[in-house]
């Protein structure tokens, strides 16, 4: 099957739990029983207070951690198999670019690491997609924070993954850049809707980008609320001022506060 014809993948998360053994013999449950079905090409945003197990869930989806219980399947495959077929792309808050490589070479790095011939056209295409074709030869330190994240996203997409995993990719950016990047990400995603799971702290960002927003409650992490976002696409930055958006924002913020409250109280 040619890479171009790769479709998107639905994801099934079944009764997934994750327990970490501590050195003193005790253990803590980071994720406790999560069930979620994600349709192919769907954009899911995961919000929740710090330490609620969002990132752990994400790492399990990315095959970086094993669930202690339950099953994750991506189009019928385990995350590990999915990784082997280069069907997974990840971008994190820390961009993790290689400082000694130019932007272009950073984007091309997945090909090299996967042992595939470098598809120069694909690399150029992605640099164009993230609007950094003029910075192809720049080193990461010569780029701004937003540019680095764009390169990081381009890198995560270069192997045409069927699932894109984003962990707070804009967490380190200032508010204005962050909004611009949200708009960028929507544009990139809508060109070829890839099944995407985004972890974020920003409720605004979650509503703006996602088809469904999942709210996780802490200790152990569970899905407390799943809110479908039925705003019309493409969403514009002005959409954020509309009443329907603001209503959703108010509702989700209140829900988030509620799951956070026990924490504040203790």
Partner 1 sequence: MVGQRIRQFWTRYWGILLLLLIWQLVVAVNNLNTIVAPSPKAVLLALINDAEFFAIEAARTTLTASGGLALGLLLGFATACLSWTAPVLSGLLTPAALLIRSIPVVAFVPIIVRVSGYGTHTVLIVTTFLTFFPCYVFALSGFNDVTQVRKDFCRSVGCSTKGISGWRFFRYVAMPSAVPNILTALQLLAPTALLVALVAEFLIGSDGLGYVMIRARSDMQMDKSWAAALLASALSVAFFVIFSQLDKRYRKTWQS
Q: Using CB under 8 A as the criterion, which residues of the chain lie in contact with partner 1 when the complex forms?
A: 59, 62-64, 83-86, 88-90, 92, 94-101, 109-110, 112-115, 139-141, 155-156, 159, 165
Q: Which is nearer to partner 1, 161 or 220 (CB)?
A: 161
The DSSP output letter for 202 is: -
Collapse the DSSP code of 92 into the 3-class scheme (helix H, G, I; strand E, B; otherwise coil) and give the result: strand
Of residues 114 and 261, the one with the C-beta less far from partner 1: 114
| Residue among 13 and 213 whose Cβ is closer to partner 1 | 13
Q: How far apart are CA 139 and CA 58, in angstroms?
A: 29
CB atoms within 10 A of CB 65: 18
Q: Which is nearer to partner 1, 3 or 261 (CB)?
A: 3
Judge contact between 60 and 31, C-beta under 8 A. yes
CA 152 vs CA 85, 127, 155, 202: distances in Å = 20, 11, 5, 20
Q: Closer to partner 1 by CB, 31 or 103: give it.
A: 103
What is the length of the chain? 266
Q: Which is nearer to partner 1, 95 or 162 (CB)?
A: 95
Q: Name, in order, each residue with C-beta under 8 angstroms of 121's C-beta and a sequence gap of 6 or more.
A: none
CA distances from 35 to 73, 89, 193, 205, 214 (A): 12, 22, 23, 23, 11
For residues 30 and 53, give the distance between their C-alpha atoms in angstroms, rounded to a whole number: 5
168-177 per-residue burial string, b: 16 or more CB within 10 A, e: under 16: bbbbebeeeb
Q: State the nearest-atom distance from the C-beta of 111 to partner 1, in Å.
A: 9
């Amino acid at each position: 099957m040619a890479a171009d014809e790769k479709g998107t993948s639905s994801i099934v998360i079944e009764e997934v739990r994750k327990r970490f053994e501590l050195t003193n013999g005790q253990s803590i449950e980071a994720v406790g029983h999560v069930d979620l079905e994600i349709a192919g090409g769907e954009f899911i945003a995961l919000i929740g207070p710090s330490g609620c197990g969002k990132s752990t869930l994400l790492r399990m989806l990315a095959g970086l951690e094993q669930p202690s219980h339950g099953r994750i399947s991506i189009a019928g495959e385990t995350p590990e198999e999915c990784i082997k077929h280069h069907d997974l792309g990840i971008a994190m808050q820390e961009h993790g670019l290689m400082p000694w490589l130019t932007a272009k070479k950073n984007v091309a790095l997945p090909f090299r690491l996967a042992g595939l011939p470098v598809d120069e056209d694909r690399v150029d295409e992605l640099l164009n997609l993230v609007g950094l074709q003029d910075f192809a030869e720049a080193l990461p330190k010569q780029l701004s924070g937003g540019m680095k994240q764009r390169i990081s996203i381009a890198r995560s997409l270069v192997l045409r993954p069927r699932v894109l995993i984003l962990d707070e990719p804009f967490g380190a950016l200032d508010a204005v850049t962050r909004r611009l990047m949200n708009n960028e990400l929507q544009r990139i995603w809508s060109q070829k809707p890839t099944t995407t799971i985004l972890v974020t702290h920003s409720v605004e960002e979650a509503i703006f980008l996602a088809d469904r927003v999942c709210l996780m409650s802490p200790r152990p992490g569970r899905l407390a609320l799943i809110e479908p976002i039925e705003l019309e696409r493409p969403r514009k930055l002005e959409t954020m001022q509309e009443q329907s958006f603001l209503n959703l924002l108010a509702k989700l913020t209140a829900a988030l506060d509620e799951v956070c409250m026990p924490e504040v109280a203790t």
